[in-house]
Chain A
Amino acid sequence: MGKFRKDEKKTVPGLSTASLPDIIFMLLFFFMVSTVIRETTVNVAQRLPSATEVQKLEKKNLTTHIYIGKPKRSYQDRYGTEPRIQLNDSFAKVGDIRDYIFTEREKLDESQKPKMTTVLKIDKETEMGIVTDVKQALRKASALKINYSAAETESVY
């Protein structure tokens, strides 16, 4: 009788989760390597225009960002719906750009200062008036290397 004890192996063996951490760690490392830490929260609308001849910006630490666009809805009661400039985390005026560029430039090594690129992230519905003002301010701050941020596409027509 002992040879036919049927009750013994009736339950399904539990799924081994021992390899689960390995899989998750793999994903974790992938994300750690391929992404960059978010630095600022953008408070203005950012629908970037698209272009075909874009270049990648390789050196992240040499870039300074200026965001221009309509304030997002939660800021519209305070800042209106006209396009505004955002530096770091706060809204700014054209006059603040000079100081901003100087402080950003101070953070770099002496040899890297001329290589600093200002990335203009401008919403495509913005009018050129404010952009021209920003460009003039950048010229006055002698931050002459700029990059008009745009998404890459195959064709613009």
Chain B
Amino acid sequence: MLNGYGGHVLRVDLTRGTIDRTELETEMARDYLGGRGFAAKVLYSEVEKGADPLGGANKLVVAAGPLSGLLIPGAGKTTFAAKSPATGGYADSNVGGMFSAEMKFAGYDLIVVEGVSPEPVYLFIEDDTVELRDAKAYWGQGAITAETMLKKALGEQFQIAVIGPGGENLVKFACICHDFGRQAGRAGVGTVMGSKRLKAIAVRGTKSIPVADVTEFRRVGREMYDFCKASDAWDVWVRLGTAGVNVPSNEWGSFPTRNFQTGHFEDMDKMTGEYMREKIVVTDKACFGCPCACGKYSYTKKWDVHVEGPEYETAAFLGADVGVSDIEDVAYANYLCDDLGIDTISTGNVIAFATECFEKGVISGKDTGGLELSFGDSEAVFELIQRIARREGIGDTLAEGARHAAQAFGGGSSHYAMQIKGLEISGYESRHAPAMMLAYMTADVGAHHNRAWAITYDIEVGRDAVTEDKAAKVIELQHIRPLIDCLGACRLQWVELGMPLDSYVPAMKAITGVDRSWEDLTQVAERVWNLTRSFWVREIDGFGREWDYPPPRWYTDPTPTGPSKGKLVSRENVERLLDMYYEQRGWTDNGLPTREKLDQLGLDFVKI
């Protein structure tokens, strides 16, 4: 019995229709903790180089962490991971809600799905009963619709992870959906699920999670809870959710606008978190064990739909980045993406890219089937979302992602295809934020902000500086938030509410019975970071520095307007940032982990 863990791993082979249950090994828990730690270890060790991301040799990993399912604030995250069909490299994405908690109650820390089912199926888990069930009745249904159907069929207590038509149609940025509006959104984890004809996973558990010191666990959990509730920021995040960041990001000149042409959107009156609260928010939604209900459940009268959101990223990508300025239109686009099961970040980014191409004459009505594209045209956005999910006409090209679309469209459009490593950049225009740009360049799934949200450091120490401490900060952050991902928890308690990070140390000790220092825990994060980097190195011949470069727009086009007007990070500084980062990471100057670094982290099984 492993304190803090469900204790079991489920291995599902969809080709043969077999399910095996094994015990979670102590070494796995010790060296990788859980969440994306488990994902990185499984994917590196078990998915062979060259595996087709859409084929049976790819594995979909679902992982909880030691905090999942326990009453620790923020313990509501589940990690989904696979080799990415979008990038060809490592992918993980986490989702808030209840799923990992229910996995733990059923006794599972890790689910590994390989193979391809001959027919659509869903994985049914109820404590020790695990079976593959016919999903024909659900295949083709929207993700929100399918989750409703499954809960009605199985019972409300089941937690559901489900794909929509986007995943079924292998859109490269399809997401895995859960709890009526939350998603594991990035890098095509939903695409992998669709490629396996796995429509959903339904889980219910009635067991108890073993904890080493229940009294101390309750005391520590209660202390963390009290901190959160007493925080002067608590009511702010409950009122606004992440949409509260729309205004400051715009004031920082970091709100992506019209395909990242600039970082300041002029038309924010109907896009602020406050306007959203007053106009459309109906109620607040929380994840498992979280006292800060940051989810905003909304109803738009204009479009007569309910949606969870829009979150900051969605306000950026289905709003400013496509030139749309009414949060109700953003909410409708959000609803479409959520039910179709495609990532709002990549979807908006790709639509914005197509729109800029159209405005520049790189593509025309011939390519779009007569649909006119212009920034601010929300009806065109709604139409393109649907064409992408159904892979119709130009939607088929856009469904492959911005990098591919730029290659298909030509006309020099790669200059402003806002992606790194094949993953569309998320919501921070970074020409006046070198640390944030470095964070995007080095994020281990392609450009994503949640590994190292470094923009506040740029602001704190001076935005123009391109200095060693910025590289050091990015590395430090890459060992913190991803560590919280390994634990199965959310960063909100720390980033938004200011909870001290070392709160996790006594929590982990009380739960697991093992006293690990914060340094020891962050070393796990460093191990996982080097392992995911090594996955890319092995998968992609010639992988190295040039894969870390940002799109040319970010080092050749000065920001034209707003608070960051005139700013960019020069190509020379891009190289300097990478030089400093690689050196501090103990990697070669081409960005590859050295034998020495790998051995220091216990990664002797990684061959270089």
Partners in one complex: no
